Structure 1
Amino acid sequence: MSQTVAVLDIGKTNVKLALFDEGRLLWEKSAPNRVLPGSPYPHEDVESGWSFFLDALREAARTHRIGAIVPTAHGAAGALIGESNLAAPVMDYEFKGIDEIEPDYAKLRPPFSQSLSPKLPAGLNLGRQLAYQKWRCPDLFAKAKHFVGYPQYWAWRLSGVAVSEVTTLGAHGDLWLPRQGQVSSLVGALDVGHLLPPMRRAFDPLGPIQPDIAAATGLAPETPVFCGIHDSNASLLPYLVSRQAPFTVLSTGTWVILMSVGLSLDQLDPRDDTLANVDVLGRPIACGRFMGGREYAVIAGGGGNPDIDAIERVIASGTIALPCFSGQGGPYATTEGVVRGEVAARDRAALATLYCALVSDLLLTRMGATIGDLIVEGTFARNRPFCQTLGALRPTQRVFGAEDAAGTARGAAMLAQWPPSYLIAEPSPIAPISISGLDSYRKAWTATVDRIV
C-alpha cells in the first residue's frame, strides 16, 4: 500500500526533511547544520536540528498525510543518552583535541585485520569518541544509560525506544567485526557493552511517535518510527534491490564514499583509507573514501561545474592538484594539498573535477574494483564532466549518473517498506568520450602522488 514517508536527513552540512511516496519526492525543506564550540568539546547543534524537524513536520503535515518516519544521519557520530535527554553533547567528528588520548586508545583499538576499520583523524573513529567521553568527561559519561548511533538517536527522540543498528556501528568505528557480524574487542576493553541497546535492523519499526510530538506536529499518534540508517548506506539501498553484483556506488557530497558490492575484502588497506562498511543486511562492503566535496570546493574556489573544453585546457597546461585539501580522508590525508602550475580562475572547477576523478580512479584501482558498473550518486552526478572523466579513466567499466539531489533520503524512505514493491528509477548511462591528453596527464599525476610518503 502506498504511503507518504518522512525522512529526517541529518548531514554534516545540512539537515533536511523530505517526503516520499513510492520513491517520488513530494516535499522537502532544509536548513544549515551547525557545530557549536565550547565545553566539553565542539558538538552538534542538536536542539536547533530538533526544532527544525518539528517545525518542518508540522508544515508538511498540513498538506500531506505522513504514514511513517525514517531517520538517516552521517557517520562518526553517536549519542550518550540518559533517561530522557542527552547525557553528553554529540561530538563533532572534526574535534582535534581528541588526539590527546591516542597513546592510550591505540592500546585498545582492534587490529585492522579484524575490524576492517582504519585509524582515522580526529573523531572519525566512533570508538575513539566514546573513549574520550569516558576518560575525559567521566561525570557526563556516568549519566549515560545507552550509547546509540546518530540515526538511532533521532529515532529514540521520536519514539522513546533505544536500539543499536549495524550500518552505524559498522561505519569505521572500531566497534564492529564485519566478517563475524558482532561487536569488536573494543567494546569489552572500554567496558561499554552495557550501554549498547538491543540490535535492530534499519527497516524495523520501533513504535509510534511519542504523544507530545504528535501534539506538536499534528501527525497521527500511531505514526511509526523506523530504526534508521547510516547515510552512505542509504544511498546504496536502491542498487541493492535493482542490480546484480559486482558494481560500485560513488556516494558523493561532503564525502565521496566508494562502495563496491560483490568485491573481495582482501585488497583493503588502512594506509589507503579503504575499509569495510556494513550494509543493511549485515554484509561487509568494500569501501574507499576521501573528502571529495570539501576538497573540490577548496580547489575550485567556490561552486560550479566545468565543461569538457575546460578539462582539456587544464590537461594541456600540465597543472595538477596534489592531495590533500581537507586534512582528512583518503590515502594522503596527512599531506598538505598543493597546486603545481598555473590555472585561470575560470578553469579552477575543471582542475577540481580532474583531481576528484583521479583520486576516485586511484581508490577504485587499489580496492580492486576493476569490474562492474560505476554509479555516481549525489553532488558529483550533476557534474557531467566528472562522470565523463571517470569513464574515460576506466574505459572497461560503464558509468551511470544518478542526478538526484535527494538520493540519500530517497534510499532511506525505502526502509518503511523493505524490500520495496515499487520500481526503482534507473540512473542515466554516461556515454563514453575521449579526452585529449588524459592518459598522459594521469601518468604524470600518478607518478607524482606515488612519491608522497
Structure 2
Amino acid sequence: MSVRPVIAIFDIGKTNKKLFLFDEDYHIVYERSVRLAEITDEDGFPCENVHELGKLVLVEFKEASEQKEFDIKAVNFSGYGASLVYVDEKGKPLAPLYNYLKPYPEKLQEELYSKYGGQEQFCIDTASPALGSLNSGLQLYRIKKEQPELFGKIKYALHLPQYISSLISGQFVNDITGIGCHTAMWDFKKNDYHQWIKQEGLTSKFPPIISAESVFENHGYKVGSGLHDSSAALIPYLVSIKEPFVLLSTGTWSISLNPFDHSELTADELNKDCLCYLQYTCKPVKASRLFAGHEHEEQVKRIAAHFNRSAGEFNTLSFNNGLIPRLQQNFKQDLNPVDFTRSSGFEQWDLTMFGNHNEAYHQLMLDLVRQQRYSTQLVLKDTRVKRLFVDGGFSHNEIYMNLLAREFPKMEVCAASVAQASAIGAALVIHSLWNQKSIPGDIIGLKSYSNGSH
C-alpha cells in the first residue's frame, strides 16, 4: 500500500475544534471535529477550557500520525483571534483563556485611551475599534492592573494559534496576523508595536515575531507557527483569483474582507465596526464585522421554540421567492431605529405575526442580509470590486445566498465551496516546504447566485 504525503492542519474555532489531513492536491483525506464544553473563569464568565484543548490537540495529532496510509510532512494551525494564552517558561497555561466577550472595565479602558491621545486617535493608529476584551492587548493590560502577581509570573502571552503550535513545536513565537487583527497592539502607520505597548512594559511578554512562511523542525515534522483564521481564509483566494474581490467569511462572525483597499481607516468607519487585518505579507486588509452567525443561532432558537420545531429543520428550508414580496408588503411595522452595527432588528418582531416557522425564518434572513449589505458596503466604497465571494456557514444557506444576490445586483455573488478555507490557507502558506506539486487551480469552487441564477 502506497503511503500518501499529507499536511496536518488544526483549525480551532470557537465552537468546533477540527483536525484535517490534506493530500498534495489539497483534498481532505482525514477529518476530525470535536466540541469542548466551556468552563468558567474566576468571575464565573464562560471561557475556553485551555487545558482540555491542549490535551485534545496532542491526542488527535498522535492518532493522526499513527494512520499507516499517511505520511505527515508538516503541520500548521489556524484559530480564532482576540484570545491570549498566558504561559510560564515551560509553556504551561497560568490562567484561563479569557473569553473575548467578557465585559471590560470602562474605567480601565478610558484610563488607557486618555493616557495615549484619546480614544479616536488611539483607535485610528491601531486600526482597532474600541471593543473592550475583543482588543486582546487590553486583556493583558487588565491583568497587569488587576492581577499584578499573575502578570509577574507570565513568561509569554501567546495568541491561540501560536499556543497550539507551541504544543508541537516547543517554540514560542508571535505572528503578524494575530497581532494585526483588532488587538489595539499594532501601529499601522509605524508598522510596529504601538507606543502604549512599549511604555506599559507589555513587549517583554510577547515572543519574537516570525514570518508565517517559516517552520520549525521537530520530531521529523515541519511545524508552522499558525495564523489568525480570518487572515488564513483569504489565502486560497489571493492565490487563485487575480481580479479584485471581497470575501465574506461567515461563521460566528460575518467578516467582509477587502484585500484591495489599503486606504486608512476613518473615525466614522471605526465607529461602524470596521477595522484592518494584516495579511501574512504584512499588507493591510480593510474589513467590516457583524456578529451575524451568533444572532442567527439565537433567533433560530427563538423561532423553533415559538413554532414547536427542532432547530435542525431550518438547515433544510428551501428559498421561497414568492414569500419575499409578501413579507416586505404585509409585515411593514414601525420598528425602532436599528443600529446595524449591533443587530439586524429581527429581535423586535412579534413572532405571532408569522403564519409558520418558514415565514419567520425568511424574515430573519431578510433582516440579516439587509444588515449584511450595510456592513459589506463599508469596505466597497471607492473600489472597483465586482465579485463577492461567501465562504463558511452561510455559503451553504440557499435562502441567505439568494437574498444576498438581490442586495448586490451589480456584483457577481458566489458561494465558495472552500468550506475549510482557513485550514487550506494555513496549508498553502507553507506549501513549498512540504508539497512537491504545484498549487492546483481548482482549490476554489464557485456557485453563482447572481442574475437569478438559482
TM-score (norm 1): 0.85
How big is the shift at 1:10? 1.2
Aligned to 1:384: 398
Which deviates the most, 378-387 or 297-306?
Answer: 297-306
8 A contact 2:48–2:96 mirrored in 1: yes
8 A contact 2:265–2:275 mirrored in 1: no
8 A contact 1:322–1:338 mirrored in 2: yes
Aligned to 1:218: none
8 A contact 2:126–2:186 mirrored in 1: yes
Match of 1:315 among 322, 328, 341: 328
TM-score (norm 2): 0.84
How big is the shift at 1:180? 3.4
How big is the shift at 1:60? 1.8
Pair 317,330 (structure 1): closer, same or farther in 2 beyond 3 Å: closer
User: Following the alignment from structure 2 to structure 1, what is the Cα–Cα distance between the partners of residues 414 and 291?
Assistant: 21
Taking the TM superposition and a 5 Å limit, the aligned residue runs for 1:60-75 are 60-63=64-67, 64-75=70-81
Aligned to 1:260: 258
Identity %, equivalent residues: 25
Detail structure 1 runs of 4+ shifted over 6 Å in the superposition. 320-325, 333-336
Which deviates the most, 172-181 or 97-106?
Answer: 97-106
Aligned to 2:83: 77
Match of 1:353 among 353, 365, 368: 365
Taking the TM superposition and a 5 Å limit, the aligned residue runs for 1:153-164 are 153-164=163-174
CA RMSD of aligned residues (A): 2.9
User: Following the alignment from structure 1 to structure 2, what is the Cα–Cα distance between the partners of residues 323 and 28?
Assistant: 46
Pair 96,339 (structure 1): closer, same or farther in 2 beyond 3 Å: same
Match of 2:152 among 137, 142, 164: 142
Name structure 2 gaps, 5 residues minimum: 302-310
Aligned residue for 1:293, secondary structure, equals helix
Name structure 1 gaps, 5 residues minimum: 209-220, 436-453
User: Following the alignment from structure 1 to structure 2, what is the Cα–Cα distance between the partners of residues 286 and 41?
Assistant: 35
Which deviates the most, 374-383 or 64-73?
Answer: 64-73
Aligned to 1:429: 447
How big is the shift at 1:228? 0.7
Aligned residue for 2:341, secondary structure, equals coil
Is 2:172 the counterpart of 1:152?
no
Taking the TM superposition and a 5 Å limit, the aligned residue runs for 1:25-424 are 25-39=28-42, 42=45, 43-63=47-67, 64-84=70-90, 85-96=92-103, 98-99=105-106, 101-107=108-114, 108=116, 111-120=122-131, 122-208=132-218, 221-266=219-264, 268=266, 269-301=269-301, 302-303=311-312, 304-305=314-315, 306-309=317-320, 312=324, 313-318=326-331, 331-332=341-342, 337-339=347-349, 342-343=353-354, 344-369=356-381, 371-417=385-431, 421-424=438-441
Aligned residue for 1:308, secondary structure, equals coil
Deviations 1:255-306 (A, max 9, x none): 1111012124346511110111111101000000011111111222335244
Which deviates the most, 228-237 or 402-411?
Answer: 402-411
User: Following the alignment from structure 1 to structure 2, what is the Cα–Cα distance between the partners of residues 351 and 54?
Assistant: 44
Aligned residue for 2:349, secondary structure, equals strand
User: Following the alignment from structure 1 to structure 2, what is the Cα–Cα distance between the partners of residues 127 and 41?
Assistant: 22
User: Following the alignment from structure 2 to structure 1, what is the Cα–Cα distance between the partners of residues 39 and 105?
Assistant: 16
How big is the shift at 1:134? 1.0
User: Following the alignment from structure 1 to structure 2, what is the Cα–Cα distance between the partners of residues 330 and 188?
Assistant: 36
User: Following the alignment from structure 1 to structure 2, what is the Cα–Cα distance between the partners of residues 322 and 98?
Assistant: 32
Pair 376,264 (structure 1): closer, same or farther in 2 beyond 3 Å: same
Aligned to 1:451: none
Aligned residue for 1:377, secondary structure, equals strand
How big is the shift at 1:191? 1.3
How big is the shift at 1:32? 1.2
Pair 322,416 (structure 1): closer, same or farther in 2 beyond 3 Å: farther
Deviations 1:54-110 (A, max 9, x none): 222222223222111111110101122211112332211111254452232333466
8 A contact 2:128–2:182 mirrored in 1: yes
8 A contact 2:18–2:34 mirrored in 1: yes
Match of 1:12 among 8, 14, 27: 14
For residue 363 of structure 2, what is the amino acid of its counterpart?
Answer: L
8 A contact 2:411–2:450 mirrored in 1: no
How big is the shift at 1:357? 1.6
Aligned residue for 2:235, secondary structure, equals helix
User: Following the alignment from structure 1 to structure 2, what is the Cα–Cα distance between the partners of residues 289 and 320?
Assistant: 27
For residue 88 of structure 2, what is the amino acid of its counterpart?
Answer: G
For residue 112 of structure 1, what is the amino acid of its counterpart?
Answer: C
How big is the shift at 1:388? 1.9
Which deviates the most, 381-390 or 50-59?
Answer: 50-59
